[in-house]
Amino acid sequence: MSDTRERLLDAAEALYAARGVDAVSLREILQEAGARNATAVQYHFGDRAGILRAIFARHAPEVEARRHALLDAYEDGEQGVRPLAAALVRPMAARLADPSGRAYLQISADVVNRPEPIAPLGVRDDPRDSLCRWRAIVEPLLEEDAARLHRRFTAILYSSIELGRRARSGPRTDDRLFTSYLIDVVTAILGAPVSPETRRLAAERDAARR
């Protein structure tokens, strides 16, 4: 059973990365995996959201461990916005070295870059989750208006899209420059001041909602 599950997961990961989550049917995953039982996907995962949760869970241990280690270093004295930008980027960028990791990064970018969240990247409030911990540590460093305008999500979205783009371009011999520059840009996103125009427009929007 576990072999079938892994083959289904491998097939889903490859297909979702190549064509996008919405363009792949459960039947195609079955065919790609060579599964004989027509209900194998439902048995092992339930539905598409279940497959996505399993893909994210496959990569979570390494990503979580790396991010928690960087956040530990920050809390032990490595202060500033850039180390926090690095804690967001580096654990995911490390997956560029692995074919399955590159597929995961493309899927992650697809999942996060849509109006309605899909289960794996929904709202998470578990303090054991490294991204939740990252959000909590970053928030006090942001201007109040920047936090209100979801600056942290903007940083997550940008880094996810750029990592997915890098993953699609194929394996590289060296991702260090790309990673360092992406950290620079995420640092700028987190630390950029909110302009007077944006403050005014946000206030007008909020007043209209009352």
Would you call 46 helix, strand, or coil by DSSP?
Answer: coil
Look at 14-23, 70-79, 159-168 and tell me which has the smallest mean pLDDT.
Answer: 70-79
Closest CA to 103 of 170, 150, 154: 170
Q: What whole-number distance in Å separates Cα of residue 20 and Cα of residue 103?
A: 10
Mean pLDDT of the chain: 92
Residue with tokens 């909602």: 209
CA 65 to chain centre: 15
What residue ranges do the domains of the chain occupy? 1-46, 61-209
| Across 85-91, average pLDDT | 98
| Across 67-74, average pLDDT | 96
Residue 9's pLDDT is: 94
| Across 103-116, average pLDDT | 92
Kindly tell me if the per-residue pLDDT of 79 is higher than 90: no
Look at 3-17, 26-40, 76-90, 120-134 and tell me which has the smallest mean pLDDT.
Answer: 120-134
User: Which amino acid type is present at position 1?
Assistant: M
| Across 98-102, average pLDDT | 96
Residue 76's pLDDT is: 92
Q: Are 57 and 82 in contact (CB under 8 A)?
A: no
Domain at 1-46, CATH homologous superfamily: Homeodomain-like (1.10.10.60)
Residue 1's pLDDT is: 46
